[in-house]
Structure formats: C-alpha cells, structure tokens
Chain A
Amino acid sequence: MQKLLLLGDEAIALAAVDAGLSGMYAYPGTPSTEIMEFIQASPEAAERGIHREWSSNEKTALEAALGMSYTGKRAMAAMKHVGLNVAADTFINSAITGVNGGLVVVAADDPSMHSSQNEQDSRFYGKFAFVPVFEPSDQQQAYDMVFDAFELSEKCKLPVLFRITTRLAHSRSPISRKAAQPEKKMKMPDEPRQFVLLPAIARKRYRILLSAYESLKYDNRISKYNTFRDGSNRKLGIITCGIAYNYLMENFPDGGPDLPVLRITAYPFPADIIRDITGRCEEILILEEGYPLVEEALRGLLDNNLKILGRLDGTVPRDGELNPSIVARALGLLLAPQLAVPEIVKARPPSFCKGCGHSDTFNAIIEALRSFGMEGVFSDIGCYTLAALPPYSFINSCVDMGASVTMAVGAADAGLFPSVAVIGDSTFTHSGMTGLLDAVVKNSPVTIIISDNSTTGMTGGQKSQATGRLEMICAGIGVGPEHIRVIVPLRKNHDDNVRVMKEEFSYRGVSVIISSRECIQTASRRKRSTTEK
C-alpha cells in the first residue's frame, strides 16, 4: 500500500479510526486541532458514524469521552497542553474511576510557545494522575502507539495520556497503516459503582489505582517503547525522551553515537534501565523536550556522585524547544558555520486579516473608552488578542480562556469603572459564561464585549458553539434585555457603535455588547465551497 503523507496529529487521528474508535472529543487548540479535523474529514469515520463534533471546552470533551468509555467503547479526547488544565479535574478523577472502554487523552504541548501562553509539560499530569504516558518520537511511532495505548487502557483500566509536542504534531511524514479493527460492542462496567467517587468508594479506587500504576512497569506495552542500546564509550551515557531522540540521531548520520543510549517513549520510565546505564557511565546527559522531568527524578535531593548534565546545569537551555544544533552543542560537537540574519530584517508579528471585524470592533472600543480616560481592556484568547500589538495596543490582559470576564469583575469589585472585557464568541461559550453569571448575580458594573466572528478563528475556523445563540445565552444567564446590545462592526457603523459602547460603559450594572460579523476567512471559505458544489 502506498504510504500516506500525514502530520503527526493526522497520524494519531488515523490510528484512532483504525483502532476502532467510536468517539472523538476535542476543543480546537494549536497544535492539537488537526486531530479532530482529520476525523471530521475522514470518509471512514463518516461511514461508521464515529462521533466527531467539537465540544464547548476541553473539560466537556474529556467528560463526554469518559462517558463513551463507560459504555465499553473506545474514545479519544484531544487538546492543547493548557486545555488539559481546563480538563484537569476530569483527568485526575478519571484515573481514580478508571475506564471501561479504552480512553486515550492526547495533550499537545507547545515548547517555545509558538502559539501558546506557556510551555507546560503534560508529562507531569501523567505522573500526577498516576496514568501511563506515551511520548512518541516520530509520526509512524505515534500511529503505532495509539493501538497499544487503547489496548493498555483497557487492560489496566486506566486512561492513557498521549503527549506530543508542536514539532511532531505539525510535521508530515509518510505513514504505513495497519489493519483496521472493528469498534467495541457496548458493554457496561462489570463493577457498577466504579464511577461513583463517594469517599468510601474513592478510597478503594485510589488504592486500586496505586497498585495498577506500580504494575505498569512490568507491562510489555510500556517496556517495549523504552529501548536501550549500548556503546563502547562509557564516558557518557545519554537518555532521550520522545522527539529528543531524533535530534540526537541527526548528529550521527551513520547509525548513532558509540555511547550507551536509553530512548524513553513511555512512562512510568524504566528505573531499572536507568540504574543500569548510570552504573556503567561516568556522566549522563539527559535530553528531554519540555521540563526536566526525568532529570529531576535522577538528581533527587541528594547528590549521588554521578555527573548529570541537562537543563538544570545549563548543558541544555533551561527553557524552549530542542533542536539538532542545541543537542550538538550539548555534546560538544562542531557546528556547521552559520550566516547571520542581516540587521535590516524586521520582525513581522501576526496581525488581523484585512477587513477583519475585530479591527472595527477595536476601533470603536478605543474611541469610546478613551472618552472615559481609559487605556485598555481585559481581553482573552483568540485572534482579537492581536489588538495587544500596534497600532491598537489596547489590551491589558490575556491569561486563560474566559479570564477577561472574571478579571473585569474583580477589577470592578475594586472600584475600576468602566471595567470592560473583550472576549470572542467561542471563548465565551468555552469559559466565559460562568464568569458572566458571577457578574449578574452581584450586579457588577462591567461591560462584556463579545467580539463575535461566528467561528473559532485563530485555530483556522472551526465551528463555534456560540453561533446564533449568544443573545439567548446572555438573556438566560440574566443580563437585562435592554443591556444586551447587538452591533455590526463595519466602518460605516463606527459612530453608532461608539455611541452604543459609551452608553453601556456608563451603565452601573452588567451589560453585554455583541459585536457580530463573520470572520472573513471563514466567510470566503464558505462561499468557495458553496460555489464549487
């Protein structure tokens, strides 16, 4: 069969389909978005009726996936690393309930923060929750591992965390497929109270979890992914995690270094092999993409006389993504000569697409708010965050999904007036609605501007749960109907929009302005697809 050229994300999605997946659950987030998108576009998924709708946020996604697992079917939830924070409550507790049908949770980390607000390392969540973690180092391995992840999940009755990073998620490579497996039949859990975490049951389940975690070390589905290759030079031993292995091998094109190398791609990591390699080498270099998880475990609190090189002693930079040159430097290898970037090259930050509705919304906000002597709004995560950059420079916060609303509420509590939040439609239904309820209940003097582009724009235009529902939602939460204002952000409406904003900014209670115009990228894609059909 001819190989398929797939992104790491797509390889994982295809593997899930081939491994008999029944439900895919996700909220868009770079670099994880393409997993769901691939399944949505897959003819096989359509034919089999695999569930593949976006969820409102990562927590609802993971809970729904857990519900599908409850029925004995295989489910996958996919999210970016910070999305796992949103789903963390479910994630940690799903380890204690355990699963029934296989449950694989993909967390796509973004070291170097290409498109994120931090570079947290999801492997810590695996350890925190006591669940197995897979960390593939290439696309084919990612494909193959998904099968083992589902099997392991069913065998040890635990969710499996599948950790990838940007480079794997967004890099293409030819993939060969395995034979497809049928979906699982519906079969409720043998133990009817498994998912009931009342304290008395939870205590029992927790002990079951601890012993299941212990026995993972002996599971072949973990151990086969942690391989050791000896070398005759014992001065230095190398431990690589996940994709770091590739950067090591890149520096030794003729089959790898003549040094002992332990390649870790599944956790809990193999303590016995680590003891073995540290016993035979004078020094150990640890290469991991992300935080120094293995390195910290090895260093411990007391020095054990072994020389450990890694991110903590500066051999490898403490933050940021790895690459072949960083690894070469850590090994003291000679680097190829490099040309410098000429000084005339200027930074080219991202900006709004020409004609984007967010820019008209911000033009109005800036004029209206300046008349109150204010410079800036609380904002949120989406294309509109680009208004933090010139020529707007009018955003004072961007923290996490939904934080604009609640930070505006807190600042209003402190006496800031007017206190204004700007949030996108999809971010609002992700995590802004509960904050709005807080505001309504105590009648905070805040104005929430929902910059509604009727899509999830930043991640490439996925369906927004909010589309067509915003007014209803705000009214349902209890915002007074006369303070739910709908405007259309177009240049010709500028003066009217400024007037509406000034009115609501002056109001000492909760008001919502829905500034609604479809993302021009989504709109033109929609037009194109209707004319092609």
Chain B
Amino acid sequence: MHSDRIKEKTINNRKMKNDIILSGVGGQGILSIAAVIGLAAVENNLFLKQSEVHGMSQRGGDVQSHLRLSGKPIASDLIPSGKADLIISMEPMESLRYLPWLSKTGWLVTSSNPFINIPDYPPLEAVLNEIKKIRNHLILDADAMAKEAGSLKAGNMVILGAASRFIDLPFLSIENGVRKLFIRKGDDIAEINIRALRAGRRIN
C-alpha cells in the first residue's frame, strides 16, 4: 500500500463517486457499516443512496447492501453490474457472491473468517484462492483484530477501517460517524469501535 493513498483525501465534490457493495451473513453488522458511511457522507454534503435487505434473509441468510455516494444526484438505488468500486464483505465466501458487480479496477476487502452455517460450505483455502484471483483484494483476520480492540463484535468496524482507504471520505468523518452511531450504547462501546476502525485502517 502506498502511503499517499492513506493521506487524507480532499473531496472533489462534483467528481466524487463511490459505488460500494456490502456483503455478509444476516446479523454480521453490515448495516452498521452502511450507517457509518452514510453519516460521514451526510457530513460531507454528498448525495447518497443505500439499498438494504430486510426480512426473510436476515435470518442467517446472505445479505447485501448497495451503497452509492456521489457529488451529483444519484439515479438508481441499485449499482449496475460491473460498476462497483468496492466490495466490503464480512465473510469470505459472501464477498465472491457479488463479483458480477465489481468493476475491473474495483477493490475487494473482506474478512478471512468464514461463517459456516450451511452443510456444503467450501474449503476455506479454495475460497481464499478465488479471492486472490481478483486483481485488487485485501483479506484480513477481522475477528482477531476486533478481539484485540476489545470486542469480537467490532469486526465490522475493522473491515470498514481497512476499506476506508478506498472510500473518498476523510477518515475523520468516518470516525465521527462511528462515534455518532455507537455513542448511544455507551462511551466504552464507542471507543472499542473506534479502536477497531483504526486497527483496520492501519493494515497493509
């Protein structure tokens, strides 16, 4: 990773466009990732559309969310196939389910920790090998990093931290978003999540 990528970005509002697919298994907290990015986007006066999955599949099924940020009004709630700039996934096999949306130059950021609730889950090695075939990918052990930050539940913020370098938002805004979202659960919870976010951001 080049250090200039990690440097704070200034947003060129009109040109800014990030199309992001969030994926995981129901209950893994992808909607919290979306909520944080949403808060940060609003803070930066960006246009935003974020389509979520509610209902049946939230019971341990595959879930995804299309999140679109732009300096200009956004037409569709759904990202056209082949045009996502980023896939952020809480689960390695789930990250592959949405490859038809990823653009040739897009990044895939995923946790390496499998969520096995089906009998025919493929061997993890094979899953990781498929991910490594993608030109731009980043795989990280979100569980371990979250535990170190203070709670296994903060894995989603680790992943967001790692993905944040590919999102054209100031990191500070994302931190503010985390604080805003988690503060109602208490200062300590907010701190753990910020620690997790920063840990993810530092990953190379």
Contact = CB atoms under 8 A, between A and B. Distances in A.
Interface in B44-91: 47-62, 66, 74-83
Interface in A112-159: 114-115
A170 B66 CA distance: 11
B57 A350 contact: yes
A172 B22 CA distance: 14
A348 B82 contact: no
A342 B99 contact: yes
A345 B94 CA distance: 8
Contacts of A346: 93, 118, 120-122
B59 A351 contact: yes
Nearest to B106: A339
A338 B38 contact: no
Given A30-B54, A341-B100, A246 B77 contact: yes
A325 B80 contact: yes
B57 A115 contact: yes
Interface residues of A, number: 54
A248 B34 CA distance: 25
Contact of B82 (A170, A247, A337, A460): A337
A5 interface: yes
Given A114-B53, A174-B42, A350 B59 contact: yes
Given A5-B38, A338-B81, A348-B61, A173 B120 contact: no
B170 to A, nearest CB: 18
Contacts of A174: 42, 47-48
A491 to B, nearest CB: 19
A344 interface: yes
A350 B61 contact: yes
A336 interface: yes
Interface in A323-367: 323-325, 328, 335-342, 344-353
B56 A114 contact: yes
B89 to A, nearest CB: 12
Contact of A336 (B27, B34, B83): B83
A191 B54 CA distance: 44
Contact of A458 (B52, B56, B74, B104): B56
A31 interface: yes
A7 interface: yes
Contact of B55 (A114, A246, A250): A114
B53 A172 contact: no
A339 B99 contact: yes
A74 interface: no
Given A346-B122, A348-B118, A353-B60, A170 B54 contact: yes
Interface in A1-58: 2-3, 5, 7, 30-31, 33-34
Contacts of B103: 336
Interface string A229-272: 00000000000000100111111010000000000000000000
A5 B77 contact: no
A336 B75 contact: no
Contacts of B49: 171-173
Given A323-B78, A336-B83, A350-B26, A171 B56 contact: no
B130 interface: yes
Nearest to B94: A348
B199 interface: no
Contacts of B80: 250-251, 323-325, 328, 335-336
A396 interface: no
A424 to B, nearest CB: 14
B79 to A, nearest CB: 8
Contact of A115 (B42, B56, B93, B126): B56
A335 B82 contact: yes
A351 B53 contact: no
B91 to A, nearest CB: 9
A386 interface: yes
A2 B52 CA distance: 23
Contacts of B134: 339
B195 to A, nearest CB: 22
A415 to B, nearest CB: 35
Contacts of A337: 82, 104
A168 interface: yes
B55 A344 contact: no
Interface string B22-33: 000111000000
Given A336-B81, A346-B121, A115 B55 contact: yes
A348 B55 CA distance: 15
A167 interface: yes
Contacts of A223: none
Given A246-B75, A250-B75, A324-B80, A344 B54 contact: no
Contacts of A250: 75-76, 80
B77 A344 contact: no
A341 B55 CA distance: 24
Given A250-B80, A328-B80, A335-B82, A345 B52 contact: no
B55 A31 contact: yes
Interface string B106-126: 000000000001111110001
Nearest to B93: A345
Contacts of A353: 27, 59-60
Contacts of A336: 80-83, 103
Interface in B117-176: 117-122, 126-127, 130, 134
Given A170-B53, A344-B122, A350 B58 contact: yes
26 contacts: A7-B52, A31-B55, A114-B57, A171-B51, A171-B77, A246-B75, A247-B76, A250-B80, A323-B76, A323-B81, A324-B78, A341-B97, A342-B99, A344-B122, A344-B126, A346-B118, A346-B121, A346-B122, A347-B62, A348-B62, A348-B94, A350-B56, A350-B57, A353-B27, A383-B59, A460-B58
8 closest residue pairs by CB, A with B: A336-B82, A115-B55, A30-B55, A350-B61, A250-B76, A249-B75, A171-B51, A350-B59
Interface of B: 25-27, 34, 38-39, 42, 47-62, 66, 74-83, 93-94, 96-97, 99-100, 102-104, 117-122, 126-127, 130, 134, 185
